[in-house]
């Protein structure tokens, strides 16, 4: 096994540039600076501007990337799998039905432990026909063995895509970098951009353990795996996912240290230490929610916010630590898992609390999990691009304070912002 690609030493004199970029443009630029060996993508809708912009870089000779234009997302991921198995640094991007059409290949990429990096612009799944922001597409790929990182804004999208290359190659797992469709993908923000050399230095040269193209060492990848071995390989995969937690954390830290950015970890907390009510969410929602939390705080009530950056692997213990002293936790899902019991993030957060009760020793349970433990409720919001605003979130937080004060909850989940 090769050593993980080591990022650069501290770059002292980096000349940053502030550019006004949309999420898509920021990620296309990051891809250009990464200069991957290969990008395979389906060039038509629901493809994103990321690939369109990147294709222009290829046409203009600004990157050395082999751009493979394929006839479907299914083929795009197939080509990426072949490329990555050959040792090439491989990237792609997609969205919505495109991600759904890739689905069959996603678990192949992860089980073959291929460090493919994919930018996903999160959008609703049809029907009805809708092209707007929603996390349903990503949630469909939730259990595919990919690392899934959510970004709040174009800056995070840029920084995270660069980190994702190193994370993928160190963890030997594919990574999805998720930005919210339109809200972030098409919204222009100031983005602090690194010089090309700094990015290339940070991502280093890939050092794949094997290459299909190495004729001196012929190998077989993805061979037949019957009942006597298949489960052992699954066990390896789940271990790899678990080992990816410290890798995501560590690469985020290295990035922040190198480039003096804000800290990047598994989750981000905002005023959670003494909070009675804490919201938990992912993606662009968190920025808007922060403004609502600030308003509540100004009015003298203790609200807080947890932003989940790493959704897979799920940082259960970090989230638990950040939330455990709250009275009420409001979990925000931009997708409904249609189980009749709420959204996917809600399921994971509830499980984090229950798992502590099972695994902690009785003394630790009483000292670490306050009794009664927090009430955890769920709001499903923003489906199909339904906007979510500061007043709405503020109102929801107020309702959670009522619950904290003893108001009964008849159903743990609800739709927020639906006409009723």
Q: How far is the CB of 147 from other proteins (least distance, A)?
A: 16
Residue 328 has phi, psi (to 5 degrees) of -135, 135
CB 8 within 8 A of CB 198: yes
Q: How far is the CB of 208 from other proteins (least distance, A)?
A: 11
Place of tokens 């395979």: 40
CA terminus-to-terminus distance, the chain: 57
Helix (H, G, I), strand (E, B) or coil at 95: strand
Sites of contact with other proteins (CB under 8 A): 1, 111-113, 172, 209-210, 217-226, 228-229, 231-233, 235-237, 239
Q: How far is the CB of 242 from other proteins (least distance, A)?
A: 13
Q: Would you say 114 or 328 has its CB closer to other proteins?
A: 114
Q: Would you say 111 or 183 has its CB closer to other proteins?
A: 111
Residue 203 has phi, psi (to 5 degrees) of -80, -20
Strand order in the sheet with 117-122: 66-69, 38-41, 90-95, 117-122, 175-180, 147-150, 310-312
Place of tokens 């409904």: 336
Q: How far is the CB of 157 from other proteins (least distance, A)?
A: 29
Q: Would you say 236 or 395 has its CB closer to other proteins?
A: 236
Q: How far is the CB of 107 from other proteins (least distance, A)?
A: 12
Place of tokens 């795009």: 76
Q: How far is the CB of 165 from other proteins (least distance, A)?
A: 19
Q: Would you say 110 or 155 has its CB closer to other proteins?
A: 110
Whole-number Cα distances in Å, 65 to 34, 171, 209, 340: 10, 23, 21, 46
* β-sheet bridge partners, residue 300: none
Q: How far is the CB of 231 from other proteins (least distance, A)?
A: 8
Going by C-alpha positions, the residue among 70, 34, 185, 183 that lies closest to residue 120 is 185
Q: Would you say 20 or 231 has its CB closer to other proteins?
A: 231
Q: Would you say 218 or 372 has its CB closer to other proteins?
A: 218
The DSSP secondary-structure symbol of 385 reads G
Q: Is 304 exposed, middle or buried (0-12, 13-18, 19+ CB in 10 A)?
A: buried
Q: Would you say 221 or 398 has its CB closer to other proteins?
A: 221
């Amino acid at each position: 096994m090769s050593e993980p690609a080591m990022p650069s030493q501290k770059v002292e004199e980096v000349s940053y540039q502030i550019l006004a970029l949309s999420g898509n443009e920021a990620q296309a630029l990051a891809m250009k600076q990464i200069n991957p060996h290969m990008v395979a993508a389906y060039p038509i809708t629901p493809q994103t501007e990321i690939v369109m912009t990147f294709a222009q870089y290829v046409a203009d000779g600004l990157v050395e990337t082999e751009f493979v234009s394929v006839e479907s997302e299914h083929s795009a991921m197939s080509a990426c799998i072949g490329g990555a198995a050959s040792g090439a640094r491989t990237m792609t991007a997609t969205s919505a039905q495109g991600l759904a059409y890739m689905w069959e290949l996603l678990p192949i990429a992860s089980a073959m432990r291929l460090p493919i990096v994919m930018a996903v612009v999160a959008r609703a799944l049809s029907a009805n026909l809708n092209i707007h922001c929603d996390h349903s597409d990503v949630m469909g790929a939730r259990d595919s063995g990919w690392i899934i990182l959510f970004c709040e804004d174009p800056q995070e999208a840029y920084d995270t895509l660069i980190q994702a290359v190193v994370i993928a190659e160190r963890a030997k797992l594919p990574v999805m970098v998720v930005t919210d469709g339109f809200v972030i993908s098409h919204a222009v923000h100031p983005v602090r951009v690194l010089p090309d050399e700094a990015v290339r230095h940070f991502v280093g040269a890939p050092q794949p353990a094997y290459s299909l193209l190495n004729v001196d060492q012929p190998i077989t990848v993805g061979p037949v795996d019957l009942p006597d071995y298949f489960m052992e390989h699954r066990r390896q995969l789940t271990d790899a996912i678990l080992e990816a937690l410290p890798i995501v954390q560590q690469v985020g830290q290295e990035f922040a240290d190198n480039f003096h950015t804000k800290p990047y970890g598994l989750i981000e907390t905002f005023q959670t230490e003494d909070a009675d009510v804490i919201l938990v969410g992912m993606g662009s929602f968190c920025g808007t929610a922060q403004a609502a939390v600030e308003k509540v705080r100004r009015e003298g009530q203790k609200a807080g916010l947890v932003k989940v950056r790493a959704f897979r692997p799920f940082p259960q213990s970090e989230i638990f630590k950040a939330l455990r002293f709250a009275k009420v936790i409001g979990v925000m899902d931009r997708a409904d898992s249609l189980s009749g019991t709420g959204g996917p993030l809600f399921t994971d957060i509830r499980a984090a609390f229950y798992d502590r009760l099972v695994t902690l020793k009785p003394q630790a349970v009483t000292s670490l999990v306050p009794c009664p433990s927090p009430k955890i409720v769920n709001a499903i919001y923003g489906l199909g691009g339904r906007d979510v605003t500061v007043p709405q979130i503020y109102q929801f937080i107020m309702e959670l304070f009522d619950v904290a004060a003893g108001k009964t909850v008849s159903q743990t989940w609800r739709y927020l912002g639906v006409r009723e």
